[in-house]
Amino acid sequence: MLSYQHIYHAGNFADVHKHAILLDVIGYLQKKNSPITFYDTHGGRGWYQFDSPEAQKTREFEAGILTLQKTSASLPDPVAHYLDKVEQITESDPNCYPGSPLLIADAMREQDYFHTSDAHPGEIKHLEQLLYGLPHISVHQRDGYEMLRGLFPPKTPRAVVIIDPAYEEKPEYQWVAKAVRQTLKIWQKAVILIWYPLLPANNHMRMIDQLRRDGIDHILRNEIVLRPPEGDRGMYGSGMLVVNPPYQLAKDGAQWTTALAKALNPKATSTHQYYSSDPV
Cβ 44 vs Cβ 99: under 8 Å: yes
* Catalytic site includes residue 164: yes
15, 40, 112, 164: the catalytic one is: 164
246 φ/ψ angles, rounded to the nearest 5 degrees:
-60, 145
Q: 3-class SS at 185?
A: helix
Cα separation, 170 vs 153, in Å, equals 28
Strand, helix or coil for residue 85? helix
| Triad 248, 254, 258: Cα angle to 5° | 135
Beta bridge partners of 97: 48
3-class secondary-structure state, position 215: coil
Q: Which residues are catalytic?
A: 164
